[in-house]
Amino acid sequence: MLKSTYQRADAAAPEALPPGWTEHKAPTGHTYYYNASTKESTYKRPSAQPEAPSIVPTYGPNLSDPSVANAYVAQFNPPPAQQSHRGGFGAGRGGRGGYEGRPKPAPIDKPVKKEPIPGHEPWILVYTKYSRRFVYNPVKKTSFWRIPEKLMPGILELDKERIRRKSGNETDPKSAEPETAEAEEATVQRKEETPTAAPEAYDSSEYEEVEVTDDEDEEGHASKRQRTDDAAPEEEEEPVEFTEADIAAQLQAMGTDYGLEPGDYDDGNMADWPEGAEGVEFSEEDAKLLFKDLLDDFRINPFSPWEKLIEEGRIIEDQRYTALPTTRARKECWDEWSREKIAAQKEQRAKQEKKDPRIAYMALLQEKATPKLYWPEFKRKYKKEPPMKDLNLSDKDREKAYRDLVNRLKTSQATRKTELTTMLKSLPLHVLNNRSLADGLPTQLLVDPRYAALEPSIRDGLIEAYVQGLPPPPDNVEDAKAASDEREKREKRTKALEERNRVIDEEKRQRERDIARGKARLRDGERDIEMAMAVDKTGLRRQLEDAA
Amino acid sequence: MPAIRHASKRKPPPEGFSDIEDDLLIFANKMKDAQNKPSPAGPKHQAQWEVFQIAHQRSRYVYDLYYKKEAISKPLYDWLLKNGYADAMLIAKWKKQGYEKLCCLRCIQTKETNFNSTCICRIPRAQMKEGQDIQCFSCGCRGCASSD
Ligand SMILES: [Zn+2]
Ligand SMILES: [Zn+2]
């Protein structure tokens, strides 16, 4: 991730705090500092002196703005057009080793050329292999990607000079190729006020324009004078006590200052990719449904707290757990699911209770009815029980059920057993089946006097044994269709998840390969430069052209 | 004469209690374990952190069930508060803007701290330095600002 802050140097001895800062003691005993105006707080004592004015100057990009940050990071990416250009390069020379033992700066880009900026010594303009440029002050050891205003005139002079020279002798169109992205890059860097322009915005017509209109008319080039040319190494003559290793280190330091990991040079945007943006059909809706499937499958109690779910860790093992990218998203989905689940459960219960007031009444009879009590006595004795007051039942029905039950209670237990078995057998499979114990016994059974007539201790075992021997419920045509539709959808999104995970894995491997290749390329590039440094001008030039 | 017992103890809990009974028992056991644990080697004030944490989680659990999931009835919610399953004072704070995630009441009491300000855990993470890790004194909170 890109960090917008850089490390402050710790002040060695306590000194006056900069204006706005106050010192505080945390209850832990730590001292911390708070700036009331910026609302900043830090454990590190802010320094009164202007901090490292060299590295993050007023020109420094404000990376808190995401678009600025993207453009900034984009600078570190090799422009895509070039990448394809050089695709075979690393592979072709990959075999060349010899540098493995030396610690190398990780960035794939590297400086290839430098020239002093006339009128602004000791400032140097440095060109990188990937056609970017930055300015460097070897005395102050300062560098900027963004060219400071005050250096602009000098750099314009350099560009003019080069074009002049180029129009004099340059004809090989090939050498212009690496300029394309560079030209774009340079434009981007010139336009201080539009830092959001990314290299992707590069249009190949610009490149054509450079080539076609490249002629002697110097003034005609005024509009293109910002274009640079790193393939013209004529300026190499000045002896600068500043080697390419210095620049490479500088380049890396700049990356570190901005909190960039070495890998970020290679693909700084990787972290910005939205989850699932890899092109697999896998919507957020699917992700949520998958996560809910998971919760359903594990028969999670919707009343339980989220922390319990995580502590148990059962669902974490399932790949559907990662269908949602963040813990926050998962928790939100869990909240939603449990709310839905609880609401559905409530509704179900309400329906069941409303549906048949007889169930509660029969349960009361089961418990209290006895041949010793006549109906009026029973009625008086239990008049306060809710089932006796339920307006949905008529007193006549209550009496009828009571008499029926009491008559049955007078028969032998064996008779009552037989009667219940007969009753069970009369129930069709869709009413009573091998799922009835889990789903709840059917109302039809619960309200039957034959059910209430047998003591639960005997009755329940009898029913259990009978029900277990039954086949599953027959598939209701409509239900079956809905169920298979749901199954199909489920399978589809599970597949999509697998596919997504596969693509992510593949991309990860691809990136690792790219990084490895980039490192190899860097080593080669350095070697090239070293060789180039050792040869004469023409040799150097050919060398660079080859590399490009 | 039977021992005089509090009315709420004698009355069975309101309907819906059975739905959450098991999870409440888990919380109760965790709490017991935390209290009986020998004090950790660290500073003394840290001994109570775990208890605070569980109490916080349980209050949050009850709060979520009633306010966010509409999973329990008002009578049950009131009964839970009355019987100490959740901290009514803390929940009252959560309903206020800016206190939605407050860790504990102590962290907003200015008197107890030695510099007359709320606890460091109340400072939004955005205002902290990158990577700065804090843990507060009173309950071990690592940050409970609403914007975090
Ligand atoms: Zn706290
Ligand atoms: Zn806190």
**Interface list for B 128-147 with A (CB within 8 A):** 128-130, 132, 134-138
Question: How many other CB atoms are there within 10 angstroms of residue A517's CB atom?
Answer: 17
The percent of residues in chain A predicted with pLDDT above 70, rounded, is 54
A508-529 confidence digits (pLDDT tens)? 888 888 888 877 777 777 777 6
> Residue A151 has what pLDDT?
84
| Per-residue model confidence as pLDDT tens digits over B54-74 | 999 999 999 999 999 999 999
With 60 as the cut, is the pLDDT of residue A421 above it? yes
Residue A482 structure tokens: 């809905």
Choose among B69, B129, B137: nearest Cβ to A42.
Answer: B129
> How far is residue A470 from each of residues A420, A429, A447, A451, B20, measured CA to CA in Å?
16, 8, 21, 18, 34
**Ligand 2 centroid from CA B139, angstroms:** 7
Neighbours of A422 (CB within 10 A): 10
Which of B33, B58, B130 to probe the A interface (max A CBs under 10 A)?
A: B130
Euclidean distance between the first and the last CA atom of chain A, given in angstroms as a whole number: 30
**Do strands A124-128 and A111-116 pair parallel, antiparallel, or not at all (unpaired)?**
antiparallel
**pLDDT tens-place string over residues A292-313:** 999 998 989 999 999 998 888 8
The SS3 assignment for B104 reads coil
What span, in angstroms and rounded, lies between the C-alpha atoms of A72 and A132? Answer: 12
- If you count DSSP H runs as helices and E runs as strands, how many of each does chain B have, helices first? 5, 0
pLDDT at B112: 55
Q: Which residues pair with residue A126 across a beta bridge?
A: A114, A134
Given pLDDT bands bounded at 50, 70 and 90, which one contains residue A135?
A: confident
The token pair that represents A297 in the structure block: 């499958």
A133 forms beta bridges with A127
More confident residue, A496 or B85: B85
Q: Are A143 and A133 in contact (CB under 8 A)?
A: no
Q: Is A257 exposed, middle or buried (0-12, 13-18, 19+ CB in 10 A)?
A: middle
Out of A208-222, A507-521, B43-57, which region has the weakest mean confidence (pLDDT)?
A208-222
Tell me, what's the pLDDT at B49?
86
Structure tokens at A33: 């500092």
Query: A189-198, A420-429, B32-41: which range is least confident on average?
Result: A189-198
Q: Is B52 on the interface with A (CB under 8 A)?
A: no
Quickly list H helices, A238-300: 244-257, 262-267, 284-297
User: Is the CB of B71 less than 8 angstroms away from the CB of A338?
Assistant: yes
Q: What percent of chain A has pLDDT over 90?
A: 16
Residue A421 to residues A405, A414, A451, A470, A473: CA-CA distances in angstroms? 16, 11, 10, 13, 19
pLDDT of residue B73: 94
Q: What is the mean pLDDT of chain B?
A: 84
CA of B143 to the centre of ligand 2 (A): 5
Mutate to test the interface with B, among A6, A24, A28, A333 (most CBs of B within 10 A): A28
A95: confidence class by pLDDT, cuts 50, 70, 90: very low
**Residues A448 and A359: beta-carbon distance below 8 Å:** no
Q: Which residues 94-133 on chain B approach chain A with CB closer than 8 angstroms?
A: 113-115, 117, 119-120, 123, 127-130, 132
pLDDT at A325 over 60: yes
- Give the pLDDT of residue A87: 31
Higher pLDDT, A123 or A109: A123
Name chain B contacts of A3, Cβ cutoff 8 Å.
130
| pLDDT level of residue B38 (50, 70, 90 thresholds) | confident
> Which range (A94-108, A109-123, A274-288, A345-359) has the least confidence?
A94-108
Residue pair A32/A41 in contact (Cβ under 8 Å)? The answer is yes
DSSP for A463-487, please give it: HHHHHHTSPPPPPPHHHHHHHHHHH
Is this model's pTM higher than 0.95 or not?
no
Would you say A403 and A424 are in contact if contact means Cβ atoms under 8 Å apart? no
- Amino acid letter at A455? E
Q: How far is A257 from chain B (nearest CA, A)?
A: 14
For residue B10, name the pLDDT band (cuts at 50, 70, 90).
low
Which residue has better confidence, B45 or B123?
Answer: B123
Residue A541, amino acid:
R
CB contact under 8 A, A28 and B129: no
Residue A10 has pLDDT above 60, yes or no: no
Residue that is written with structure tokens 């060695």 in the block: A12
Give the Cα separation of A471 and A498 in Å (integer): 35
- Do B138 and A27 count as a contact with CB atoms less than 8 A apart? yes
Q: What is the pLDDT of residue A513?
A: 85
How long is chain A? 548
Q: Is A24 helix (H, G, I), strand (E, B) or coil?
A: strand
Instruction: Name the minimum distance, in Å, from the CA of A101 to any CA of chain B.
Output: 33
Burial per residue of A424-436, b for 16 or more beta-carbon CB atoms within 10 angstroms, e otherwise:
beebeeeebbeeb
Mutate to test the interface with B, among A3, A39, A45, A303 (most CBs of B within 10 A): A303
User: Which chain A residues have any C-beta within 8 angstroms of a chain B C-beta?
Assistant: 3, 5, 24-28, 32, 39-44, 301-305, 307-308, 335, 338-339, 342-343
Nearest chain A Cα distance for residue B2, angstroms = 26
A246 pLDDT band (50/70/90 cuts)?
low
- Three-state secondary-structure class, residue A136: strand
Closest ligand relative to B145 C-alpha: 2
User: What pLDDT score was predicted for residue A152?
Assistant: 81
User: For residue range A178-201, what is the model confidence (pLDDT) as tens digits?
Assistant: 444 444 444 444 444 333 333 333
Ion ligand 1: protein residues whose beta carbon lies under 5 Å: B 103-104, 107, 138-139, 141
The first and second tokens of residue B112, run together, are 């107890």
pLDDT tens digits for range A16-34: 777 777 777 655 556 666 7
Q: What is the pLDDT of residue B11?
A: 72
Token look-up 């020379």 returns A93
Binary contact (A342, B70; C-beta < 8 A): yes
The span from the CA of A532 to the CA of B79, in Å, is 84
Whole-number average pLDDT of chain A: 68
